[in-house]
Amino acid sequence: MKLSKYIDHTLLKADATHEQLQKLCEEAKEYDFKSVCINPCNIPYCKNLLRGSDVLVCTVIGFPLGAMSIESKCYEAYDAIERGADEVDMVLNIGRLKEKDRNYVTEEIRRVKQTVKDHTLKVIIETCLLTDEEKVLACECILDAGADFVKTSTGFSTGGATFDDVKLLKDTVGDRCFIKAAGGVRTKEDFRKMIELGANRIGTSSGTKLV
C-alpha cells in the first residue's frame, strides 16, 4: 500500500473554519490520503468537497473525553453516518475501563458498532491515561465487540502515540483488528517506525510533511 493511504489527514480543533477545512480536503485529494478526520458538524461540507475522489470522510464521536452515555454515542454515530461519514472514531469510556468494567466497555463498543454497521469503527483508548494492563483489557473489549481498529489517542490529552504502545497493541490484537496511531506523529522517521511496528493507519495533522 502506498504510504499516503496510511494517513487520516486530521483537523479536529474547535476553531476550525470552512477555509481551513477546504485546504484540508484539497491537500487530502492532492496527496491521495486515506481520509480526512473532522468534527461531525463538518461532515456535509467536507463530503461535498471530496465528491469524485476516493478520499474518505472520518469523524469522531464521544470526543474527546468519552464520558457520554452509550445512548448519546449511538445517536451521534447514527447521525454521523446519516450525514455521510464513511468511518467513525469513538472514544471509549475511560473511567469504566479503569474500573475494569469489561461488560460496560464491551457493550458500549458493540452497540456503536451495531449502529454504524459495515462502516469502519475505530476505538480510541487514550493510551496516555492507561496502564499496560488497562491497554490490554481495552483491546480485549474491542475484539469482543467486533470493532475494526484500536486507536491510541485523541491528541487532546496528556500524550499521543508511542512506539511502545503500538508494539503492545500489535502484540495483543495480532491480525484480529487494525491499529491506528494518532497524536504526535510528525516526522518521517516516526511515521515509518509506527508502520513497521504494526500501525495500519496514522492520524496526523502533519500528513503533507510526512509524504
Catalytic residue status for 180: yes
Helix H, strand E, coil C: the string for the chain is: CCHHHHEEEEECCCCCCHHHHHHHHHHHHHHCCCEEEECHHHHHHHHHHCCCCCCEEEEEECCCCCCCCHHHHHHHHHHHHHHCCCEEEEECCHHHHHCCCHHHHHHHHHHHHHHHCCCEEEEECCHHHCCHHHHHHHHHHHHHHCCCEEECCCCCCCCCCCHHHHHHHHHHHCCCCEEEEECCCCCHHHHHHHHHHCCCEEEECCHHHHC
Catalytic residue status for 132: no
Q: Residues 34, 47, 122, 180: which is the catalytic one?
A: 180
For residue 122, the cross-strand partners are: 89, 149
- Contact in structure between 167 and 146 (CB atoms under 8 Å): no
Q: Residues 89, 148, 165, 190: which is the catalytic one?
A: 89
Please choose, from the candidates 138, 134, 129, the residue with its C-alpha nearest in 3D space to the C-alpha of residue 64.
129
Length of the chain as a residue count: 211
Catalytic residue status for 151: yes
Q: Residues 34, 47, 151, 165: which is the catalytic one?
A: 151
Catalytic (active-site) positions: 89, 151, 180
